[in-house]
Amino acid sequence: KEKQDMRPSKQRLLVVANRLPVSAVRQGHESWNLEISAGGLVSALLGVKEFDTRWIGWAGVNVPDVIGQRTLTEALAEKRCIPVFLDEEIVNQYYNGYCNNILWPLFHYLGLPQEDRLATTRSFQSQFAAYKKANQMFADVVNKNYEEGDVVWCHDYHLMFLPQCLKEYNNKMKVGWFLHTPFPSSEIHRTLPSRSELLRSVLAADLVGFHTYDYARHFVSACTRILGLEGTPEGVEDQGRLTRVAAFPIGIDSDRFIRALELSQVQDHIKEFKERFAGRKVMLGVDRLDMIKGIPQKILAFEKFLEENPTWRDKVVLLQIAVPTRTDVPEYQKLTSQVHEIVGRINGRFGTLTAVPIHHLDRSLDFHALCALYAITDVALVTSLRDGMNLVSYEFVACQASKKGVLILSEFAGAAQSLGAGAILVNPWNITEVAASIGYALNMPANEREKRHYHNFMHVTTHTSQEWAATFVSELNDTIVEAQLRTRQ
């Protein structure tokens, strides 16, 4: 018994991400309810039981600091969340500006903004200054809450400057950084005016992780070509200090989806959707309405398929569920109108008085309806032009145990490297190829569908989000032990 009492308590894990995993939902005039929003990162880390996890991030909501009788900070503390408060100007320059207008498109091979080069350069400088300032504000909060022995895990392109700020505070802090987007070819990264500063800061981390081996390789080449450092099989070396760089492909909490299919609410939706689309094969797209998701390309490929296969016109329907994001950005508004225009044209061209070939929804679906849609789908279409991983493809596979539908997957999504043997891989820019793949998928014999599904299902149910998080954190602990051994030698 004595021995048990002396066991060390769980190691603390500080997860730092731009947004906290809770949203404030208004209740009445004065009170707010904080709800955990179940994104990929949240469910990944909820499953990691061996750590005492706390979240640090921007509260992201325009609420007064008082929620009923309590302050927002107190209310968040109950959810193990610690807020970083950013003012409107910083959010505008750091988040809307540098993160979403510069890094996001660049990392997805869409280049830097070019409308007016001089204006871009001027605003670029102020946005980068705000980015550094915001990262420093995150670092201040981490530093204030840090206790010796904690592991600090920084997430995504919003916080590339954070590892350096943290190490400047305390060189002994265990710091990991993980990128959820692709890391582009070094030739693309080279165009970024702040290319070296960002690389150097990320290198201050002890472990740097990416979804795929290719992204890790691109990062190492950027460090060797731009900074002149040495790349090794373990990572990047700078004056005897090694930053470990490796691939940690994310997964989903597959059990959550599999279990959901048994729920009566999901079964009711399944029944309703089956009746609604009886006699037609269902094709499905679920994306945030973002340029990287290749939604216009997907719809144009579907149009080409209908054009070339008149007998399918009243036998197939495409359901495209697109959650609007970044709706105040002009490019995203343009994308929305473009998609609406294409859908309208195709429905006008191939629709009848009683049915249309495309149902396009500009909204998010609740979890139960989403699972039911995944379950009744015959062919899922993921046509991202670039995508770090793409969890929708994993979620679809997890819900297909009985139907064994086909996944058409862009070769430019990280998921192509894990689900490639089971999916039909396509180049989304090649509309003719995608249209042909739609025909192939719709006509695929049952035994081939089963074989392909089995491969993907095994992958999705074994490489889960929990495994991803646990592997990253344990590797981070090991990396530090190895570094200590090296310095002692």
The β-bridge relationship of strands 316-324 and 281-289 is parallel
391 binds ligand ADQ (CB under 6 A): yes
Q: Which is nearer to ligand ADQ, 260 or 321 (CB)?
A: 321
C-alpha Rg value of the chain to the nearest Å? 24
Closest CA to 244 of 201, 196, 205: 205
Task: Lay out the site mask for ligand ADQ across 188-217 (x = CB under 6 A, - = otherwise).
Answer: ------------------------------
180 part of the interface to ligand ADQ, by CB under 6 A = yes
Measured distance CA(153)–CA(15) in Å, rounded: 5
* Binding span for ligand ADQ by CB under 6 A among 9-17, 62-70, 126-134, 363-371: 363-371
Element (H, E) at 151: strand 151-155
**Choice from 72, 286, 375, 399 touching ligand ADQ (CB under 6 A):** 286
Per CB under 6 A, which of residues 222..251 are in contact with ligand ADQ? 250
Nearest distance from residue 202's CB to ligand ADQ, in Å? 17
Total interface residues for ligand ADQ by CB under 6 A: 19
HEC profile of 12-43: EEEEEEEECCEEEEEECCCEEEEEECCCHHHH
Shorter beta-carbon distance to ligand ADQ: residue 247 or 365: 365
Q: Which amino acid is at 203?
A: L
3-class secondary structure, 205: coil
* Binding residues among 27-46 for ligand ADQ as defined by CB under 6 A: 40
Adjacent-strand bridge partners of 387: 413
Choose, by CB under 6 A, the member of 392, 409, 426, 473 that binds ligand ADQ: 392
Q: Is 21 in the site for ligand ADQ (CB under 6 A)?
A: no
Site string for ligand ADQ, 296-335 (x = CB under 6 A): -------------------------x-x------------
Q: Which of 33, 145, 185, 364 binds ligand ADQ (CB under 6 A)?
A: 364
| Local structure of residue 312 (DSSP, 8 states) | G
Which CB sits closer to ligand ADQ, 242 or 339?
339
Dihedral, 143, 144, 149, 151 alpha carbons, nearest 10:
-60
Pick one of 36, 46, 365, 483: the residue that binds ligand ADQ (CB under 6 A): 365
Q: Quick one: 223 or 321, whose CB is closer to ligand ADQ?
A: 321
Q: Is 441 in the site for ligand ADQ (CB under 6 A)?
A: no
Q: How far apart are CA 363 and CA 489, in angstroms?
A: 58
Nearer of residues 73 and 417 to ligand ADQ, judged by Cβ: 417
| Maximal C-alpha separation, the chain | 79
Tokens of 484: 């200590």
Q: Cβ 414 to ligand ADQ, closest distance in Å? A: 6
CA-nearest of 305, 293, 288 to 365 is 288
* Interaction of residue 422 with ligand ADQ, rule CB under 6 A: no
Q: Which is nearer to ligand ADQ, 14 or 250 (CB)?
A: 250
Site for ligand ADQ in 136-155 (CB under 6 A): none
Q: Rounded to whole angstroms, what are the CA distances from 314 to 309, 353, 354, 441?
A: 10, 12, 10, 17
**Tokens 């505008």, residue located:** 92
| 18 phi and psi angles, rounded to 5 deg | -55, -50
Residues in contact with ligand ADQ by CB under 6 A are 40, 180-181, 250, 286-288, 321, 323, 364-365, 370, 387-392, 395
